[in-house]
Structure 1
Amino acid sequence: MSEIKRIRVNNRFSEAVVHGGIVYISGQVDLSAARTARQQTKNVLAIIDELLAEAGTDKSRLLRAFVYLANIGDLQDMNKEWEAWVVPESTPARTVAQCELSSPAFLVQVSAEAAL
């Protein structure tokens, strides 16, 4: 039976879970009260960098990402931060969808999976 490592655990979920050589990052949102989708994207991606580092990997090992936007009209601004962040030639499979997020303050939410 392989080990399961949980990172930043609370009573509802773990921020990340490592199992079988894969790190699964839960949906991350910007809690800093940034008001634009572009700034929220930048902040969320920084959180993902931290979680990947805690798990023992980095964004060059991303396998898949899910990006949820409160307004699909923010796609271009989100993509500007995304493209500046991802490692060229190591971009993950990605899904982008518009959906209602858990608070009107959240404009962007990102979850991801990466190899160790």
Structure 2
Amino acid sequence: MSDIQKLETNEKLSRVVIHQGVAYLSGLTADDRSADTFGQTLQVLRKADILLGKAQSDKSKILSAQIWMRDINEFDEMNRAWTTWLDGTVPPARATVGATFALADIRVEIQFTAAV
């Protein structure tokens, strides 16, 4: 059995879990939740870049992304940030759904799985 590595761990979760060449990121949300959907999505994607780097991976190695949105009618705004961030990188498998969040000012949450 290979080792399991956990990064940025606190009493509730680990931001990244690495096992058998795969990094699993916890759901990421924006720090500045006064931003609109485009802005919150960009913040989340910047966080993903940092965490993927800590896992010795990057956006080109993302296998899948699960995206939850408070208002699915803002799908185009989220996608505009997503495609800006991808900047020509071949996109991963992805699912996007509407969701109710525990905190009302969260507009977007994204969870990633990536190869390392």
Compute the TM-score of the two structures, normalised by the length of structure 2: 0.96
Q: Which amino acid aligns with 2:7?
A: I
In the TM superposition, residue 33 of structure 1 has moved relative to its aligned partner by 2.6
- Number of equivalent positions: 116
Alignment of 1:11-26 (within 5 A): 11-26=11-26
In the TM superposition, residue 90 of structure 1 has moved relative to its aligned partner by 2.1
| Partners of 1:24 and 1:114 within 8 A in 2 | yes
CA offset digits 1:16-66 (Å, max 9, x no partner):
100010000110001223320100000000000000000001000010000
Distance 1:105 1:42 in 2: 16
In the TM superposition, residue 89 of structure 1 has moved relative to its aligned partner by 5.2
Distance 1:15 1:42 in 2: 18
Alignment of 1:1-116 (within 5 A): 1-86=1-86, 88=88, 90-116=90-116
In the TM superposition, residue 95 of structure 1 has moved relative to its aligned partner by 0.2
Distance 1:54 1:110 in 2: 17
| Partners of 2:17 and 2:23 within 8 A in 1 | yes
| Partners of 1:60 and 1:87 within 8 A in 2 | no
Q: Check 1:87–1:4 CA distance in 2 against 1; reply closer, same or farther (3 A cut).
A: farther
Distance 2:51 2:70 in 1: 23
Displaced runs of 4 or more, over 6 A? none
Q: Any stretches of 5+ residues in structure 1 without a counterpart?
A: none
CA offset digits 1:63-90 (Å, max 9, x no partner):
0000100000110000000001125352
Q: What is the DSSP-based 3-state SS (H/G/I as helix, E as strand, rest coil) of the residue aligned with 1:30? A: coil
